[in-house]
Chains A and B, each alone.
Chain A
Amino acid sequence: MSREEVYDIVQETIMDVIPDVEKEDIAIEKQLKDIGANSIDRMEIVTMSMRELNVKIPLMSFAGVNNIEGLVNVLHENVNN
């Protein structure tokens, strides 16, 4: 699965979790909190994205992530493992 496809799924998940967010509000360099996700929303975006991608990644692996790009990268690495 390409990184672009993973990003698409993450975007869909973000819009599911935060109903007010439109696709144009999301940019890969942005932080989730900048588009209105609180700490629980952010955790939910991570678990829902994992479920959509059918991967299980220890939550520790996301410790260094500080924007959407970082999240997409961790997911992408594991999808293709």
Chain B
Amino acid sequence: MLLNQGIGITGMGIVSSIGDNITTFTHSLQQGISGIQTKEAITKPPLSVTIAAEIRNFSFVEKLKNIPNVPEEKFKKAKRLGQRAPFVIQMTILAALQAWTQAKLFENTVASDRIGLVVAGQNSTQNYQYNLLSQFVDNPEYLSPRYALEFLETNQVGVLSELFEIEGEGVAVGGASATGNVGIIKGHQLLALGIVDVCLVVGVPADLSPLDIQGFINIGAMGGKTYNDQPSLACRPFDKKHEGFIYGQASTSVILENQKSADQRVVASLAKVSGYGYNLDKNSSANPNLTGEEKAMKTAMQNAEISTSDVNYINTHGSSSPLGDQTEAEAIFNIFKNHTDTVYLNATKGLTGHCLYTAGMVEIIATVIQMKHGFLHPNRNLKNPIHNELQFCGKVATKYTIQNALCNSFGFGGINTAIVLENID
């Protein structure tokens, strides 16, 4: 018997280019602020795309100090674990602490073996390795012994479980650009199977090396050609002038918890994760698949026991990739044909850039925020929509009550996911 009923979100955290906590991120969504700018540092070698939604002026310890309600002992432990760790570890520690404190897990505790940990991330040490390489070639002897821990994705599992004293199951999962949704889905499954009562799902930021960026340029996925000199205009999901994704960075975290545990701890759920669809379209390449995307959305709604008329908002994958946007718009139209006038669409990547492995979680968080605060964030660069029969949000935020939301995330390698969030207010 699966405990599919009543799995909710009781805490969230984010460090992104448009806000380093939920409050500032909310403000940026409301104002339609874009985090895409000319990159601070010139890469070595210099590359043709020089814009991204990066984390700027990052200081781990400063940001750590700004998280309220962290017990002194935990602050010290986080500092010790993070201070000399790679950027991506520092970023996830910060996001995870935000969610943990919001869910009051330091005060109203849960048995440590009933807490699970899903690290949604892949290839997170690419830039860290790239930066070590030139020194390594000359002096391999000086490589830090810590490297052997740090290049493993599961280092995140170790660090976060030590910090939060988690003793249930812990895994690192990947799903290309759908990694964030895959993480939420895997956490949901741990809860539904009754393996844990609480699950910390953490999204590891993409810290791309110049090698990776050039790879995305060469495969034709990355935008930033026409608008390289006007960064905030470069990410244009569903606009006729879209030309590929713009890279963004964000760490994310969500506490998933079953209703019984949340009730016992007297902690409010922010939204219910009521269903999901997850399928492969058996494709090793980068191109999207209409059938796979439709199937993910349909399965998610079936799983949540709702119909198309119950959904009044879709947080699209909308990556600003011409073929990707076109395929998703068609998939949505095919499913919502009869209700397109009551389903509003926006694309958070238009503001945050494409945060790759955490994009899905950034968008789940953005969806919960819009639900709680009763608004829809703008599509700031959508002038000429590629599809005229879908309801895209405009250039300013609007007041709106989301009932049920679909959150789409698709990834290279034929990975299709959709998650249904239900407004429980």
Contacts and interface: CB of A to CB of B under 8 A. Distances in A.
Contact of B143 (A16, A19, A40, A47): A47
Contacts of B84: 16-17, 19
B80 A40 contact: no
B144 interface: yes
Nearest to A17: B84
Contacts of B83: 19
Contacts of B139: 51, 56
Interface in B271-315: none
B80 A19 contact: yes
A44 interface: yes
Interface residues of B, number: 13
Contact of A43 (B80, B142, B145): B145
Interface in B126-153: 139, 141-146, 149
Contacts of B142: 47-48, 50-51
Contacts of B80: 19-20
Given A16-B84, A19-B84, A47 B144 contact: yes
A76 to B, nearest CB: 18
Contacts of B146: 40, 44
Nearest to A56: B141
A48 B135 CA distance: 13
Interface in A28-74: 40, 43-44, 47-48, 50-51, 56
Given A40-B146, A40-B149, A44-B146, A19 B141 contact: no
Contacts of A19: 79-80, 83-84
Given A19-B84, A47-B142, 14 more contacts: A16-B84, A17-B84, A20-B76, A20-B80, A44-B144, A44-B146, A47-B143, A47-B145, A48-B142, A48-B144, A50-B141, A50-B142, A51-B142, A56-B141
20 contacts: A16-B84, A17-B84, A19-B79, A19-B80, A19-B83, A19-B84, A20-B80, A40-B149, A43-B145, A44-B144, A47-B142, A47-B143, A47-B144, A47-B145, A48-B144, A50-B142, A51-B139, A51-B142, A56-B139, A56-B141
